[in-house]
Structure 1
Amino acid sequence: MRDLGAGFGYLMKGQRWVAQHGKQFGWSLLPGLITLVLYAAALVCLALWGADFVGWATPFADDWSSPWLGLFRGLLTAVLFALALLLAVLTFTAVTLLIGQPFYESLSEQVDIAEGGHAPESGLPLWRDLWISARDSLRILVRACLWGVLLFALGFVPFIGQTVIPVLGFFVTGFFLSEELTSVALQRRGVQLRDRLALLRSRKGLAWGFGAPLAVAFLVPVVAVFLMPGAVAGATLMVRDMEGAATGARPATNDPHPASHGDGTDETPQGMTA
């Protein structure tokens, strides 16, 4: 329970940090706004033409009598839209981080510098960082979608599906949100995806406390846009303290962290693996 509270505390600290640094906050809103417009356009298109798509995809039901045809296709249209909303929530952070990689990396670096006087660097060119971020985001998206499909199916179980499963869904989504947000700071420290996941699994309460409230807040897309900069800042603060706990002390101010090797292979810094 203490880790849950600590995770939520980092989320609040991040929001306070960006509130005190208005310039970084303003620039960091742009990626979220771009993603919001793209997602809103996609969902509007789905709302307008989703029923037509379902009709095209179910020609075998054309001869069904009323009201079964309308009920069947109406249910499929509702399920399609619900899945699209779930996918939007699960992928909003990943897509926003991908679009805003330079913005959020700069923000994360500023947090590191303000808190410790030094910002670890991956030592990789921007295109390589973008490629690693996109690759890892895709891997996380696959995992998140598998969980999403499972939880959606379990949602039809009487009572449990309407009580336990939604809560479980927020915790699962929160864990993946924490992974995506901490990846900005951890990738600069040369920590690979498998080690990032192991690190967060060793501190599930911290990851849930940080990510689950975000998962709830991100149901409102406009809120997600304004919380993203603070979430990146809070994730960086959390990474710094996790790193300090793993090594027995806060990161040294003048002691740079190991960068990735020139061959593009990320090496996990000592003390950051779970």
Structure 2
Amino acid sequence: MRSLRDFGNGVGFFLQGVGWVARNGRWWLFGLIPAVIAFAVYVVALIVLGTNALSMAEFLTPFADSWSWREAFRVTVALALFLGGLALAVLTFAALTLTIGEPFYEKLSAKVDGVEEADGPPWWRTLPRSIKDSLVTLGYVLLFTVPLFFLGFIPVFGQTVVPVIGAAVSGFFLTVELSTLGMERRGMLRKDRFRLLRRNLPVSLGFGVVVFVLFLVPLVAVVAMPAAVAGAAMMVRDRLAP
């Protein structure tokens, strides 16, 4: 029961973020700029993937050349490739947007946190570390999502249990990315951030899963990104590392 309540609290932090940007429209517009840039990159990438998915499926399944139902099988593989690319886009959207817009979101997160931006090196000097952290997180994501991708072909189980597990995994790692600004402001290293989020898993999942579901809708992902950053700052400040 407590875990369910904590999950709801995680959802609540995102809603608080929505409320904050609704009251501070200038900051919401400020946070849209990097989200729009990242969205344009992903739109182009997904169009390319969609137009070449069937060719990729044929390349990956030469063993099916003699099958009477090879066309249906390859269409299924092509669809799975596109859906996998879409899921990966959702998972990495926050990381790319935060990387592109680190100066924007650092200011927004600090404003929500109610603190002045800490003195430190300029953002372009910390960019390599941010990219490294995002790549490490992406490695963890792939460690989970690749097996889930293949488990998705199992009848019934792949269409019921696997999506739920996938949403939980994706939600957790979205929380990892979005909470980075607030935790780094408190001097927390990557391993400490992971440990803290695992210790508060229901809250982390509640916040991340609702963001993941919303980010599945492309334009909603752009509009909701500033709110997600604001909500993550509140969650770190009020619950994870007060």
When the two structures are aligned, how many residues end up with a matched partner? 238
| TM-score normalised by the chain length of structure 1 | 0.81
Asked whether the 8 Å contact 1:86–1:148 carries over to 2, the reply is: no
Asked whether the 8 Å contact 1:54–1:76 carries over to 2, the reply is: yes
- Tell me which residue corresponds to 1:271: none
- Tell me which residue corresponds to 1:234: 231
Residues 8-63 of structure 1, C-alpha deviation per residue, up to 9 Å, x if partnerless?
111011111111111111011111111111111111112222223444x258459x
Asked whether the 8 Å contact 2:152–2:158 carries over to 1, the reply is: yes
Asked whether the 8 Å contact 2:61–2:74 carries over to 1, the reply is: no
| TM-score normalised by the chain length of structure 2 | 0.91
Identity %: 44
- Tell me which residue corresponds to 1:108: 109
- Tell me which residue corresponds to 1:2: 5
Rg: which structure is higher?
1
Q: Which has the higher helix share?
A: 2
- Tell me which residue corresponds to 1:145: 142
1:219 to 216, 219, 225: 216
Residue segments in structure 1 that go unaligned for 5+ positions in a row: 245-274
In the TM superposition, residue 121 of structure 1 has moved relative to its aligned partner by 2.1
Summarize the alignment of residues 117-196 of structure 1 with structure 2, pairs less than 5 Å apart.
Answer: 118-119=115-116, 121=118, 123-196=120-193
Greater relative CO (CA pairs within 8 A, separation 6+):
2
Asked whether the 8 Å contact 1:122–1:188 carries over to 2, the reply is: no
Cα distance between partner residues in 2 of 1:191 and 1:10: 21
Cα distance between partner residues in 1 of 2:62 and 2:205: 44
Cα distance between partner residues in 1 of 2:97 and 2:149: 24
In the TM superposition, residue 81 of structure 1 has moved relative to its aligned partner by 1.1
- Tell me which residue corresponds to 1:18: 21
Q: Which moved more, 1:121-130 or 1:89-98?
A: 121-130
In the TM superposition, residue 157 of structure 1 has moved relative to its aligned partner by 3.1
**In the alignment, structure 1 residue 75 sits paired with structure 2 residue 76:** yes
Q: Which moved more, 1:144-153 or 1:133-142?
A: 144-153
How big is the alpha-carbon RMSD for the aligned residues of Structure 1 and Structure 2?
Answer: 1.9
Q: Which moved more, 1:145-154 or 1:25-34?
A: 145-154
